[in-house]
Structure 1
Amino acid sequence: MIISKDLFLLGDQDYLRLPKDDKRPRKIERLDNGVANPQEPPGCMHPLPAHRPIELTFTNLTVTLDDKRQVLRNISGVVKPGQVLAVMGPSGCGKTTLLNCLSGRTKLDSGCIHLNRERLNKRCKRRICYVLQQDVFFPDLTLRQTLEYAALLRLPDSLSRSQKMQYVDHIIDVLDLNNCQDTIIGDYMKRGLSGGEKKRANIACELLTNPALMLLDEPTTGLDSHSAYKLMMSLKKYAEKEGKTIVVTVHQPSSQIFHMFDKLLLICNGQTAYFGDINKVVNFFSGIGMTIAPHYNPADFILEQVKGTEEMKQKIIAAAKRAQDDYYHQELLNLNCTCDKYLNNYRHNHNNSNDNYNCQSWPINAANGHICTAFSDSSTDSNEKCYTAITVNEDEVRTLWLDSQSHSSTSTSDEDFTWQWPTSFWTQFKVLSQRNFQEARPQMLSTLNWVQTIALGLLAGLLWFQLPRTEQSLHNIQGWMFFSTTYWMLFAHFGTLSSFPPEREVINKERQSGAYRLSAYYLAKMVGELPLTITLPAVYHLISYPMLGMHSFSTFFTLLLFLLLNTIVAQSVGFFVGAFCMDMQVSITISALYTLATQLFGGYLATNIPSWLQWMQYLSMVHYAYQNMQIVEFSDGELIKCDPVKSRYTVCDNSTSGVIPASDIVNAQGASFPLWLNTVILFGFLIVFRLLGYLVLRFIRKPK
């Protein structure tokens, strides 16, 4: 909506148009009547400004999948603010595909989608909320925590924390979630919210941004009749009270729910079987000889008809096409935005054989004052730009035609607009770090993991208890080092591997809704989970190393740092593999091969490595951590004494001191580097795999 050449509406705020190199938004807060107001009334129940109501129009949508199967063919419809459109049809008819199209997630073969008079573009998508059929949440967070984090991320920084929490309270009250707000979400292993409560929680997360258009995919699936009715009643009241536009796909609703809807779009074989008012669908089927029995659910009846024989389906589709044309003529809405068809219809209706029509001679209904603003691109005859009908006076035709041309250049190009995230990078990073920490803590620091860590630390300490610093005990000391590095490598790697796939679904959903930057999430995940990642290895080291025979605090802390560094590197590798491999079995297989190879070439299990395989040592993260632990342990304190009978080290034969230098011990196990270089290589592993994980999420596994 263009107010002036320097002002355009963006989402829930108004911004002045800026030069491309000027990133500063100049915000003007507005009242509901559209008048600029420099101050918002304090204590408002709805801290977000009201969106402009949206009229959704979709025209001749056609979609073909990769297997060349046409899922949708020439689907059209219109939904006005305050109305609820039900999309019904048999399983596999294309209901979810239609919602994906309306949300901009599926590419169209042909057709156009408009919100008011603006063609669907990147900016428009920010005003749409899409509630998926699957309820995707972090299971260990409570309902209130989930909504609070969503509010902190998706509501603008101009609102204080108390205002955001006030809005959370309002949404909880609207959707009647007060009694379960402190219950965890839960999953198949942990009992939490019921099915109906999860559905309402899913909707609540999307309502936080005060969207103008809501798309809901099968919100009543899996609910009992009472829960489904209660949910749909909440949505109906919300649409009427707030002036929202709602599109819902339903499979087979009860009669009570069916009569709540304002409009119905019935799909059969990917085509329109009926579109119109919900209270006229029975008359439509009666008009083609399909009469409903008394006291019969209309939803059940119409689904039975569209599941009938192929002849019956074609009869319904043909009747729907005739009724659809009549409906559009009566409502004076052009849902087929092609110049040729409009002109041909106009010629036919007025018995005019004049061929000198052009796309700027539009048919005008003087009584109702409607005009179709479809036009052909003068530069490319094959390209068409589509706009829905608008109501004008006859004297205003030329003015609005020029305005439509100006508006088309604005709405179809995103180059002039810089999307402003709802919150700053720092806010996103801070909130996501807190959420990652709170969500991962129950799993990473579970009671089972604590028991396992303490028991393993005691067992390792008892097994290698107070080993003497002699050559005979050298292999046992090295055994403790190698065991510690490999165990915590596997623990961190496979722990990340198993926890990331469920989290990926939540992240994809939030990224699709534009909640935060991927870079903010990625950095917050590394920082937020870092304390949890290092806690258990530190406790293990604190228990086992003193029992081994600690001789200095500096050695204790240095060994701990290298153990933790190796653990964090292993976590990075697990995150990369988990992000890259969609199949869990494939990721486990790849991880098993890599971690086993890392152990084999670590320098402890095999020392006589063939020359043609020695390069594999340089790819083993354990190799560098294990080397550093040996250098630190054997260079400080009491040195290792040579075997007086038969030593494996030549230095013992020529030395009078009778001790083995740390360099000889390390060199005996293959290629070795100095301490600083091993540390640099470990940090290189860390940076490379973290960066690869980000690139995979950014370019390969981005949500569609």
Structure 2
Amino acid sequence: MLTASLAPSCDAFGHTTDAIQDVEKGSELSRHLTNHALTSFSWSDVGVTVKDRKTKKPIQILNSSYGCVQAGSVVALMGPSGSGKTTMLNVLAHRTSTMKGDIQGRIMMNGRVMDEAAIRRVSTYVEQEDAMIGILTARETVDFAARLSMNGNTPKKDRLSRVDGLIESFGLQRQADTIVGTPLRKGLSGGQKRRLSVASQLVTSPRLVFLDEPTSGLDSTASFECMKFIRQVAKQHNLIIIASIHQPSTTTFQLFDQLMLLSQGRTCYFGAVSAVEGYFERIGRPIPLHINPAEYLLDLVNTDFGHDDSSADGSLGYVHEAWTASEEHNALMLSTATVSSLVPVSPSRTSRKSTLAIAWVLLHRNFIKSYRDLIAYGTRVFMYFGLAIMMGTVWLRLSYHQNSIQPFTNAIFFGGAFMSFMAVAYVPSIIEDLNSFAKERANGLYGPLPFIIGNTLIGIPWLFLIAVMFSIITYWLGHFNPTAGGFCMWVLWLFLDLLAAEGLVVLVSSIFPLFVVALAVTAFANGLWMCVNGFLVPMGTLNPFWKYVFHYIDYQAYVFQGMMVNQFRSTIWECDKSSDTDEYQCMYPSDLQSQGKIRGTAVLRAYKYSWGDDKIGEWIGIMFAIILAYRILGYLVLVMKKH
């Protein structure tokens, strides 16, 4: 992990003071830095060493890097593929929890070493992938980011003013009411999405912004416009912005104040963009006229295509050595060995909302998504409606003759099992939510608890609506127990079934946040529950391993039992009469056999099910426990997967 001791750093105004020796003093300064101006951000002797997978020997992927950036500056982090740009950005942003290796060096703000918490209180990280809710408009996207980051005392008027200001600053006023875009509905263009992604992070009032390939996937014009807006905001609000960027155009390159050029994890240049030509001319590598400087520099330090690293005259090694021996490098090392005094300003993000307040904001956002986005719940409503029509017409008006006992039982199994199985349609929506959560959590906006609360609450009314709609169609078409109490219990069991199934989807998707993997694992789990729920293989026949390990935690088993009791506990069935003996032949013996009838409880007895109210209450309690367990496990998974 990064060195916890204090190190000196660059001074925004060129003044120097004595180096700080007391570690505890630095920790105290870290805790209240957000109440002061961020005048400089620097790093000293930063390196990353990992083990080679084959040889198990240590490999240095980032080597002794130095840098210093002043407020209001935009830094370009450039280098060929595999040069260490993303690693460098992650180390500077303290996003190293998933990084396997040894990290050395000191990351400083205003000359003081800062821990992860202090960095995240004043910074934001915009990832290369646009993790946004596709159905929200541009204004809503920025507004929800503002609501999640601002304290509850901020007037709504001030919040909306800041949102509109950023929308205008990034040239999105015409697209303010346009949705981001979903697979089913076209929205913003690629360049507009990138600008919106940055704007939604800047509204959280950071002092330090890390951008990972902000122009990725954009053409030359869109890249220039995107970086122009970013530069304007940096100058206007005195921000420090560090952006990894791949081969910018000449005009885009000139928008940056400073350049850090990396290759093979080593620094080839760090300094003002305006001084690039003079430096490389001085070391004998002049930038030709009428050539894009960025393109030339990337080609100069690229070893993947034809460069001979062993050549002393034209090698990358020469460029590395020239930088290490340069006056600029020595001056940079000296500047990161001094400290400065803090300059008070307004706080960045010192006041945090309560868990319930954040959950309420997330619930509002989820509500908008739930009724606008067909993928969230609309598709599932149509799917369940189609399934209800199919089931109701296939099992149409079954009679209460003993020949219908098995069809009724099959219908109960089919209804509960497939209602649960079709919850896999929720996978795309929850993965989108999890991606947004990962981004917002990494930027310090909120943690797993409000996310789980908001996600759980938004599903309840929709799932209840689905359960009622499905039941109205299937229950009466199929001629199930024709009582109001029977219908209400049927709805209850389907509702609990859907709640458990959605909890399972959230848990699996939290563990495997990849669409194909989450879909496959959820489908497998539902297949397992179908096999051991007591219908396909009766409990008396089920292998003890599957019975005791899986059956008793199978929510489908309790749904099937509950629906069976609901159908057979108070119903009477007709038997056939033998033409030869003139005696009734009943499939299930009961006390009504002499009357040519079957008491429904005889069917339950054959399945070894109890039918008392106390037993039904116990099953309902177990269902609630399973539903709660899925949500708690999902929460714990997110807690353990901290980025």
**TM superposition score normalised by structure 1:** 0.77
Query: Match of 1:59?
Result: 44
Distance 1:282 1:489 in 2: 65
Q: Cα–Cα, structure 1 residues 504 and 11, in superposed 2: closer, same or farther, change >3 Å?
A: farther
1:611-632 C-alpha deviation (Å, 9 max, x unpaired):
5354353243222111111212
One-letter amino acid matched to 2:298 = L
Compute the displacement of 1:585 (Å): 4.5
Query: Structure 1's 646 and 620: CA in aligned 2 closer, same or farther, altered over 3 A?
Result: farther
Q: Does 1:74 align with 2:69?
A: no
Residue 138 and residue 12 in structure 1: after superposition, are their counterparts in 2 closer, same or farther (change >3 A)?
A: farther
Partner of 1:515: 445
Deviations 1:266-303 (A, max 9, x none): 11211111112212211211122222222222212222
2:5 paired residue number: none
Structure 2 counterpart of 1:532, which letter? Answer: W
Q: Which residue of 1 aligns with 2:339?
A: 389
> Is residue 89–residue 251 contact of structure 1 (8 Å, CA) maintained in 2?
yes
**Would the aligned equivalents of 1:155 and 1:208 in 2 still touch at CA under 8 Å?**
no
List aligned pairs for 1:196-275, cutoff 5 A: 196-275=191-270
Q: Amino acid of the residue matched to residue 47 of structure 2?
A: T
Q: Is residue 34–residue 350 contact of structure 2 (8 Å, CA) maintained in 1?
A: no
The answer (yes or no) to whether the contact 1:444–1:533 under 8 Å persists in 2 is: no
Q: 1:274 to 1:77 in 2, by over 3 A?
A: same
> Does the 8 Å CA contact 1:63/1:110 hold for their aligned counterparts?
yes
Where do 1:158-173 residues align within 5 Å?
A: 158-173=153-168
Q: What residue is the counterpart of 1:593 in the other structure?
A: 524
- Does residue 316 (structure 1) correspond to residue 319 (structure 2)? The answer is yes
Q: Which moves more between the two structures, 462-471 or 688-697?
A: 462-471
Match of 2:421 among 487, 490, 495: 490
Structure 2's unaligned 5+ residue stretches are 1-19, 53-57, 343-348, 578-583
Paired-residue identity, %: 27
Cα drift, residue 508 of structure 1: 0.8
**Quick one: which of 551, 554, 561 aligns to 1:620?**
554
Q: 1:160 to 1:82 in 2, by over 3 A?
A: same
**Structure 2: distance between partners of 1:194 and 1:159:** 32
Following TM superposition, by how much is the alpha carbon of 1:610 offset from its aligned partner in structure 2, in angstroms? 4.4
Match of 1:453 among 358, 374, 384: 384
**C-alpha separation in 2, matches of 1:632 and 1:213:** 61
Alignment of 1:151-550 (within 5 A): 151-187=146-182, 189-307=184-302, 308-310=307-309, 311=311, 312-323=315-326, 326-327=327-328, 333-335=334-336, 372=337, 388-390=338-340, 422-441=352-371, 442-443=373-374, 448-492=379-423, 494-549=424-479
Partner of residue 103, structure 2:
109
Cα distance, 1:447–1:572 mapped onto 2, change above 3 Å? closer
Letter in 2 for 1:572: G
Deviations 1:560-579 (Å, cap 9, x if unpaired)? 01111011112112222222
Q: Is the 8 A contact 1:11 1:126 kept in 2?
A: no
Query: Over the residues paired in the alignment, what is the CA RMSD in angstroms?
Result: 2.8
Give the AA of the match of 1:161. K
SS of the residue corresponding to residue 113 of structure 1 reads strand
Q: 1: distance between equivalents of 2:559 and 2:51?
A: 48
1:314: Cα distance to partner?
0.9
Q: Secondary structure at the match of 2:295?
A: helix
CA distance in 2, matches of 1:596, 1:643: 36
Counterpart in the other structure of 1:344: none
Look up the match of 2:572.
639
Answer whether contact 1:62 1:72 (CA < 8 A) is retained: yes
Closer, same or farther in 2 for the Cα pair 1:294/1:99, shift >3 Å? same
2-structure distance, mates of 1:172, 1:186: 17
**1:396 aligned partner:** none
What CA deviation, in whole Å up to 9, does each residue of 1:234-271 have, x standing for no partner?
Answer: 22222222211111222211111222222211112111
Secondary structure of 1:466's match? coil
- Asked if 1 retains the 8 angstrom alpha-carbon contact of 2:110 and 2:339, the reply is no
Tell me the number of residue pairs that the alignment of Structure 1 and Structure 2 aligns.
Answer: 582
Give the equivalent residue in structure 1 for 2:581: none
Structure 1 runs not aligned, ≥5 long: 15-50, 336-371, 373-387, 392-402, 404-418
Q: Tell me how far apart the structure 1 counterparts of residues 319 and 449 of structure 2 sit (CA, whole Å).
A: 51
Q: Which has the higher contact order (CA 8 A, sep 6+)?
A: 2
Render the CA deviation track for 1:5-36: whole Å, top value 9, x for unaligned.
9x97867975xxxxxxxxxxxxxxxxxxxxxx
Closer, same or farther in 2 for the Cα pair 1:8/1:64, shift >3 Å?
Answer: closer
SS of corresponding position for 1:317: helix
